[in-house]
Amino acid sequence: MTGSLSPRFECAALTDRGLKRSRNEDAFVCDAHHGIFLVADGMGGEQAGDTASRITADVFARSVVPYLTDEDLTLPVETSREHDPWREILCLAVKETNRQVVEYAERQGTRGMGSTLTAAVVIQDRLYITHVGDSRLYLTDGRECRQITRDHTKVEEMVARGVLTPEQARNHPQKNIITRCVGRKKTTADIEVLEPVENAVYLICSDGLVDMVPDSKIYELISGGAGLEEAAKMLVEAANDQGGRDNITVVLFRI
């Protein structure tokens, strides 16, 4: 099977170590040719975090690209007419990505190694979102900057139960404790299918941006009329201006 490579994109990406971390454990893919955009935020300390995010970004993208480009490639599992085959492809990509991170950690003895994964894949006339962890995807149009993904964190679960308000969650001491990540023996991804909004700007970012910069400021910087490359620079600068406590990665794209 094959997906359409016909959509045209404007895109930009930038990653920065921030001001407090000794190394950058984020990775990204910004592939306008295949319509694959993602951010992976690694964890595990030492070299484990950056290795986990690199494996996550590389393996996920490499697992999806063949189905986008090879008309003769068929799914390795059976699907029925009621099921969207692209959902199955993305689930398989997450499974393979997770397997490789787990196996690497077992070989190297890097306990606790893992990564978030938030990816957008444009396939024909649909936008497929694959999400594990607390990296985020936003949609910015002429009215607002709207968060599309839901964080897989303990604090977000408390917000969903009504224990915390969104305002309380923003500064909660446990806000970065995630409940799902790539690198666990049992990991599932949220997969959402959307209709792309032409000329809207999509932002995928690590928590190093959103922990420092409020959504209103993100909207202001993206919608201020600058090109996407300049907007990416301004977002990273804004996070560093507020303290740059973590690695900062932004991927912006417009269809």
Using a pLDDT cut of 70, give the percent of the chain over it.
93
More confident residue, 198 or 60: 60
**pLDDT score of 6 more than 60:** no
Residue 162 burial (10 A CB sphere; 0-12, 13-18, 19+): exposed
And the tokens for 156? Answer: 């977000």
How many CB atoms are closer than 10 A to CB 120?
Answer: 25
d(CA 208, CA 244): 7
- The per-type count for the chain, helices as H runs and strands as E runs, is 7, 11
More confident residue, 157 or 248: 248
More confident residue, 84 or 221: 221
Average pLDDT, the chain: 91
Domain membership of residue 2 (yes or no) is: no
Domain membership of residue 3 (yes or no) is: no
Residue 190, H or E segment? strand 190-194
Q: What is the pLDDT of residue 107?
A: 93
d(CA 62, CA 58): 6
Task: Work out the pLDDT band at 38, boundaries 50, 70, 90.
Answer: very high
d(CA 117, CA 180): 10
Q: Give residue-wise pLDDT tens across range 197-231.
A: 989 999 999 999 999 999 999 999 999 888 999 99
Q: What is the pLDDT of residue 167?
A: 72
Which residues does residue 173 pair with via DSSP β-bridges, in sequence order? none
Pick from 54-58, 86-90, 171-175: least confident: 171-175
**CATH number of domain containing 122:** 3.60.40.10
Q: Write out the residue range of the structural domain in which residue 62 sits.
A: 10-254
End-to-end CA distance of the chain: 23
More confident residue, 231 or 8: 231
Domain membership of residue 1 (yes or no) is: no
What domain count does the chain have? 1
Task: Work out the pLDDT band at 195, boundaries 50, 70, 90.
Answer: very high
C-beta of residue 39 within 8 angstroms of C-beta of residue 251:
yes
Domain membership of residue 5 (yes or no) is: no
pTM: 0.93
Domain membership of residue 180 (yes or no) is: yes
Q: What is the pLDDT of residue 74?
A: 73
Domain membership of residue 161 (yes or no) is: yes
Q: What are phi and psi of 121, to 5 degrees?
A: -125, 120
Domain membership of residue 212 (yes or no) is: yes
Q: What is the pLDDT of residue 2?
A: 67
d(CA 62, CA 70): 13
**pLDDT score of 93 more than 80:** yes
How many CB atoms are closer than 10 A to CB 33?
Answer: 10
d(CA 12, CA 18): 19
Characterize 193-227 residue by residue with b for buried, 16 or more Cβ atoms within 10 angstroms of its Cβ, and e for exposed: eeebeeebbbbbbbbbbbbbbebebbbebbbeeee
**pLDDT score of 4 more than 80:** no
C-beta of residue 5 within 8 angstroms of C-beta of residue 68:
yes
Task: Work out the pLDDT band at 37, boundaries 50, 70, 90.
Answer: very high
